[in-house]
Structure 1
Amino acid sequence: MIDIPRIETARLVLRPPRFDDWPSYAAFMATPRAAYMGGPFDEAAAWGMFCHDVAQWQLFGHGSLMIEERGAVGDGRCVGQVGINAGPLFPEQELGWLLYASFEGRGYAVEAAAALRDWAFSDLELKTLVSYVHRNNIASRRLAERLGGVEDASAARHDPLDIVYRHSRA
């Protein structure tokens, strides 16, 4: 059994998913905001994705963490998810993120993604990660660039509409 990490930043806690995270996750996946991930998704598909995010920890030693506000910033609310994805739909290990709509514009996604990226480089000793971003998802493209991601036109991708941003270990 692998220990899923708890990563703390100045404003956030990245922690293992819990079942009480499911309703907000399912609600997000049912909205048009999930379009850049292939959605919206019905409950069965969203449940499979939620379980996949948890199962990756046992299969690959990494997976998804929920993003929670720290006490001084908020009331411990779950604001989204960040993860390192792998498996047959991901040609390379992917750094991905999602943020619930009411929490956008606060810098939470970049703070959480940078923390997980740094953990992957230090603890997993990964040399590179990629972010697969739909070409029309301007907000995520900007976020990938803020993280230092560089467009990699030669990288393999599952979805031909994705732009691949490469994050390299400094």
Structure 2
Amino acid sequence: MIPRLETERLRLREWRPEDFETFVDIMADPEVARYLPGGHPMGRMDTWRFVTGMIGVWTMRGYGTWVVERKSDGAVMGRIGLIHPDRWPGLEIGWTLGRAYWGKGYATEAAKASRDYAFLTQPVAEVISTIHPDNKASQGVAKNIGESNGPRVDIDVGGGTVYTCDVWAISRADWEKRFRSS
């Protein structure tokens, strides 16, 4: 049910049981969690809910996030893909990579594939990325995939947690003009 996407260096693939331990390590890293909703590392049970929730979105919405795997060595690097939780401002391209994979262009490469997949498979006028105002690295990824910074919003992510973020977006029309291959 979960399609695979491939880029030059990456495979965006389905979730497997053995991926869980890698995500426990990724989500326990304070630097990784710093700009995510809640802003703190996740314990094992919260990571379990996070991972199983991402898998379940494929059934609920027909799209979701993929595991990002490096082709050269099979390293599980993180997750990227399409998310749209209840009461979210729109269909989002979201990403979380382990710190060892930052600054190498992997997030941009996978986000471009996710952006193209979104516009090719979903009837949406735009796709967004919600990014913490201080997260310069993710802002760079958003710019690299053609998104522009929009309004700052407060999103209730549950449990009394409000996530203040900027909504970056690219419209379908802009994508078709700038990025769609013929």
TM-score, normalization by structure 1: 0.90
User: What residue in structure 2 maps to residue 92 of structure 1?
Assistant: 90
Q: Identity of aligned pairs, percent?
A: 33
TM-superposed CA distance for 1:125, in Å, is 3.4
Range with bigger deviation, 116-125 or 84-93: 84-93
3-state SS, counterpart of residue 41 of structure 1: coil
SS at match of 1:62: coil
Q: Cα distance, 1:34 vs. partner?
A: 0.8
Structure 2: any 5+ residue segments left out of the alignment?
Answer: 157-161, 176-182
Cα 1:110–1:62 change in 2 (3 A) is same
- State the one-letter code of the partner of 2:133: R
C-alpha distance 36-155 of structure 1, shift in aligned 2 (>3 A): closer
CA RMSD after TM alignment: 1.7
SS, match of residue 49 in structure 1: helix
Count of equivalent residues: 165
What SS is found at the alignment partner of 2:86? coil
Equivalence for 2:34? 35
- What is the distance in 1 between the residues matched to 2:155 and 2:90? 8
What are the equivalent positions in structure 2 for 1:33-112 lying under 5 Å apart? 33-37=32-36, 38=38, 39-70=40-71, 74-88=72-86, 90-112=88-110
Q: Measure how far apart 1:52 and its partner are.
A: 0.8
**What are the Cα deviations for residues 97-123 of structure 1, in whole angstroms up to 9, with x where unaligned?**
011111122211000011011011012
Q: What secondary structure, in the 3-state scheme, does the structure 1 residue paired with 2:137 have?
A: helix
Matched letter for residue 62 of structure 1: Y
Correspondence for 1:167? 170
Counterpart of 1:16?
A: 14
Distance of aligned partners of 1:121 and 1:155 in 2 relative to their CA distance in 1, 3 Å threshold: farther
How far residue 161 of structure 1 moved from its aligned partner, in angstroms, is 2.3
How far off is 1:42 after superposition? 1.4
The Cα of 1:9 is off from its aligned counterpart by 0.9
